[in-house]
Amino acid sequence: MNIAMLLEMAADGFGDRIAMGGHDRSVTYAELRWQATAIAAALAAEPQTVALDGELSALVPAALFGSAWAGVPYAPLNYRLPPASREELVRRLAPVTVAEEAWLALPPDPGRTFPDDPELPAVLLYTSGTTAEPKAAALRHDQLTAYILNTVEFAAAAEDEAVLVAVPPFHVAGVAAVLSSTYAGRRMVPLPHFAPEAWLRLARDERVTHAFLVPTMLARIIAAMEADPALRAPSLRHLAYGGARMPMPVIERALELFPDTAFANAYGLTETSSTVCVLGPDDHRAALAAGDPAARSRLGSVGRPVPGVELRVVDGEIQVRGDQVSGDYLGNGPQRDKEEWLRTGDRGRIDEDGYVFVDGRADDTIIRGGENLAPAEIEDTLLRHPSVAAAAVVGVPDEEWGERIGAMVVPRDGDTIDAEELRGFVLARLGTLKTPEVLVVVTELPHTPTGKVLRRAVRADLSQPG
């Protein structure tokens, strides 16, 4: 099934609902369908990949569905990269054309049909590459539609529902947001430039009911709410988060600040067409209420696999398979094994009730004197210190131990951090083995554009002599 079918059904079923925009300036699902047919008609003469080089706007759903309608791949680019890097990424996609704002004004082609070749690539996403050069993951029509049909019920959204989309279009969650909102019939409210105050104001003014955030965004929203009690999102019913590991202290505070909001932790990869595991709202509240530390620790879990996905742990590494799982890269064959399992590169475990815990990227494991240490536990402990706003822990090359523990920390606004005092704080809780040997205070952690800590940059910085 072509992902264009999701839009066709939406336009037939609830065409007058707003697809994207505020109540003042918006496009309906029926209009979005006509835009898609118009773009497909324009592409028909010379079919080629459609690159999108821009932030979230009405052009994003139109280019995504227009490409699908034409049967060509859609490739959203990281518009924050320098022009020379973007030109290189575009060149690698050739033959390619770059989507333009003017496409939204092209004449519709109501009779135009879309191809039904489920194995065609629908979306090409350059993965963020926190440890390596970017490569383009290819997601096929059948993989994306499998994800949507297994996790979203058609027209499930109530008429008043609106989702605030703050992730950029080149993130898999940005693609998934368009597809699931379309199939559910939910209005998308775009926030192209994330700032915590702007997010809270837009959520209030547009009566936003749903949102997805990466952990760094949620941490900044919490800080803004604590600084200004007038900044609240009263209509927010459902908050999903994912894209990177959520520190325990952040989610605990979020549950206190949003007492009436249902939380969902979504774990997935670009290569798996977004979410493969979800920790749902009831699990969050039960874990928060639990006195038993084991039950409470479930807040740090990513929940259980979504329908249609199988998950296992082999030698400490999480593997997944299912109809939505790709793992193909442009110019490279499938990365799945003969039984269709995809290695995620994430270390993890499954508890006796089937809850999955992700301990971090396998590459991020610190090996100190033969001892394997996960940065997650040390980062969470650093974050429990009242003066610490953000923390990243990495392995720093060391002649004697192979690696030593290096930490980069950011103080809260107006606070200072005494490195020795902070090391003592960790030492008292985790012991010498897990106490950072190098600890540097900075004003900001290096991040990828989608909010993941750029660990290779942290590692490079902490590895500098002196």
Instruction: Name the residues that contact another protein, by CB under 8 A.
Output: 1, 5, 8-9, 12-13, 149, 151-156, 163, 173, 176-177, 180, 184, 210, 212, 238, 240, 242, 262, 264, 266, 274-275, 278, 280-281, 306-307
Residue 464: Cβ within 10 Å count: 8
Nearer to another protein by Cβ, of 2 and 49: the residue is: 2
- Cβ distance 212 to 42 under 8 Å? no
- Cβ distance 163 to 181 under 8 Å? yes
Sign of CA dihedral 451, 243, 173, 72: positive
**CB of 126: closest distance to another protein in angstroms?**
19
**CB of 403: closest distance to another protein in angstroms?**
35
* Angle at 141 (CA atoms; ends 139, 144), nearest 5 degrees: 65
Nearer to another protein by Cβ, of 29 and 103: the residue is: 29
Nearer to another protein by Cβ, of 264 and 392: the residue is: 264
**CB of 171: closest distance to another protein in angstroms?**
10
- Cβ distance 284 to 258 under 8 Å? no
**CB of 238: closest distance to another protein in angstroms?**
6
Q: Which of 426, 392, 422, 419 is nearest to 407 (CA)?
A: 392
Nearer to another protein by Cβ, of 49 and 151: the residue is: 151
Q: Which of 263, 196, 262 is nearest to 232 (CA)?
A: 196
**CB of 164: closest distance to another protein in angstroms?**
12
- Residue 214 gets the label, from left (phi > 0), alpha (psi -120 to 50) or beta, of beta
**CB of 173: closest distance to another protein in angstroms?**
5
The structure tokens listed for 449 are 């554009």
Nearer to another protein by Cβ, of 18 and 382: the residue is: 18
Full 3-state SS string of 12-28: HHHCCCEEEECCCCEEE
d(CA 50, CA 71) in angstroms, rounded, equals: 10
CA atoms in the 13 A half-sphere facing the CB of 437: 15
H or E segment to which residue 163 belongs: strand 162-165
Nearer to another protein by Cβ, of 50 and 175: the residue is: 175
Nearer to another protein by Cβ, of 13 and 334: the residue is: 13
**CB of 181: closest distance to another protein in angstroms?**
8
**CB of 245: closest distance to another protein in angstroms?**
16
Nearer to another protein by Cβ, of 241 and 425: the residue is: 241
